Amino acid sequence: MSSAPLPVISNFIRTIIDADLASGKHRSIVTRFPPEPNGYLHVGHAKSICLNFGLAQDYQGKCNLRFDDTNPEKESEEYAQSIQDDVRWLGFQWDGEVRWASDYFEQLYQYAVELIQKGLAYVDDLTPEQMREYRGTLTRAGKNSPYRERSVAENLGLFARMRGGEFADGSRVLRAKIDMASGNINMRDPAIYRIRRVHHIRTGDKWCIYPMYDYTHCISDALEGITHSLCTLEFEDHRPLYDWVLDNITIPCHPRQYEFSRLELHYTITSKRKLLQLVNEKHVSGWDDPRMPTIQGMRRRGYTPEGIREFAKRIGISKSDNTVDMAVLESAIREDLEARAPRVMAIVNPLKVVITNFVAGQTESREAGFHPQHPEFGARLVPFNKDIWIEADDFSESPPAGWQRLTVGGEVRLRYSYIMRCDEVIKDAAGNVIELRCSIDAETLGKNPVGRKVKGVIHWLSCTHALPAEIRLYDRLFTVPEPDADKTIDFCTYLNPDSLVTTRGWVEACVKDAIPETRYQFERLGYFCTDRRDHRPGKPVFNRTVTLKDHWAKEQG
């Protein structure tokens, strides 16, 4: 990683690793990140990436990237490539080459043959509906399939014929022979192979049978020498099957599975199915829409990998519920950007001001640094001119109590420039304010006025020098913390109609050569990032990454 390592915060997984290393059970650790290439990764995956790769980094171990490509209908190279890009962007690198479950298809097949030879697997002809009926329920034990007692020789023959393509899709499965009366439904003779004629992104049409996840995953872990197989809590009930498979095949390594709580983030969703619905129904522009909780979306919005890693550190790892407010993520991003983003001025909602006492050649411009704590960021000239833009929200004809911005007859400090007084308001036929006539105090450039105190400071831009820009004001995608909590209500009901407001504004000309994914603080407005897809030098498109303060806390308070 490019930055210094974050302070290590202990958790139950680190405690286990420390004990394993101290006892000599393991000399070093090997973890893995095993996504299925059937969609784009989201913030929950980011937590898992930071955990698995972060542990390997901290303990000088290794972390593999292994694609679980056993479900070929939904998988694509596009997804696989995006996942690799996401891992690298977050600041991590996997050990060696990318690994795939399909690398092990032949070995997985041979281990299935071994289970059959030991009388621990059988070919079943039940239909899927019959299998569900025979499986039982949480309160009723399952019952044995009538095909459960086939001979080893018959099962070996049928399994070879399954591989050879003699049977129709779905007509037979290979099942582990465990215990149909088990209290854990996962142990009731689970299917470990099914027939499916689907073109595979890596093996093409070589295979017409594919192994199931629970069977594939544990063997892949063992073949790779994984020491600590970390997964989310929904796989806790699958651990006995993980161990059963490894206990009953001839394989030298037996990794251990440990479960931690998955991340649930307020004001968004992380269900891959529901994220796909948002895309398909055009509620968002795509998987990388900056409102999406995908890593691609967060990146496009302007979130930093350092901020996301800091967020993962703050929320921690445990077995208890891990529902986190969006403000925790936004705070981590905001704090990271505070230190690294240069500051410039921009106008989102422009109101024109004419400086009536501007004197060409006498009224001066000033230089301003890009960051008050980082002089090494350099400085730029902030040009002043007769016509300037200010933020329309910074003017009020009837200001509320405590108003410290501009009003008729009132004064404000123009950031990096003069004290300015509003003398006249120009309106259109409908009574809308379209222009202000103001004057500056020529003695106040870089110093305070004599005999009076001016509290308010507003940002502004010279009309002549400002660069036009498209500014996209992104906000939270949903209006409620848990949009999918009530399953009887369509979660799309809670979509925030103001999650994207696009405006035509102005920015300082010093950003004209900014490349995509360049981040700035727009003074008084928030943190913004040039869009990685639509931005062009000279034709900037800025995405609001996060506001300067948590305005949602104010609204909820």
Q: Tell me which residues are annotated as active site.
A: 36, 262, 272
Question: Strands of 173-176's sheet, edge to edge?
Answer: 121-124, 173-176, 191-195, 209-211
Query: Under DSSP, is residue 500 helix (H, G, I), strand (E, B) or coil?
Result: strand
Q: Which residue shows structure tokens 């913390």?
A: 481
Q: Which residues contact 209 (CB under 8 A, 6 or more apart)?
A: 109, 162, 163, 174, 193, 194, 195, 196
User: Taking Cα atoms as reference points, which of 183, 189, 191, 240 lies closest to residue 212?
Assistant: 191
Q: Judge whether 454 and 407 are in contact, CB under 8 Å.
A: no
Instruction: Please state whether beta strands 519-522 and 526-530 pair in parallel, antiparallel, or not at all (unpaired).
Output: antiparallel
Report residue 469: phi and psi, to 5°.
-150, 150
Q: How many helices (H) and strands (E) does the chain have?
A: 13, 27
Q: Which two tokens stand for residue 180?
A: 């149909």
Q: Which residue shows structure tokens 């929950």?
A: 44
Q: CA-based diameter of the chain, in Å?
A: 103
User: Taking Cα atoms as reference points, which of 305, 267, 308, 263 lies closest to residue 475?
Assistant: 267
Q: Judge whether 25 and 56 are in contact, CB under 8 Å.
A: no
Q: DSSP label at 4?
A: P
213 C-beta neighbours (distance < 10 Å), count? 16
Beta bridge partners, 427, equal 433
Count of positions (residues) in the chain: 557
User: Taking Cα atoms as reference points, which of 481, 504, 499, 501 lies closest to residue 491?
Assistant: 481
> Buried (b) or exposed (e) across 22-53, using 16+ Cβ within 10 A?
eeeebeebbbbbbbbbbbbbbbbbbbbbbbbb
Q: What CA–CA distance (Å, rounded) separates 125 from 154?
A: 13
Q: Which two tokens stand for residue 140?
A: 């009723």
The H-or-E segment that residue 22 falls in is: helix 12-23
Alpha helices in 207-325 (DSSP H): 213-223, 239-247, 272-280, 295-301, 305-315
DSSP sequence for 354-389: EETT--TTTS--EEEES-TT-GGG-EEEE---SEEE
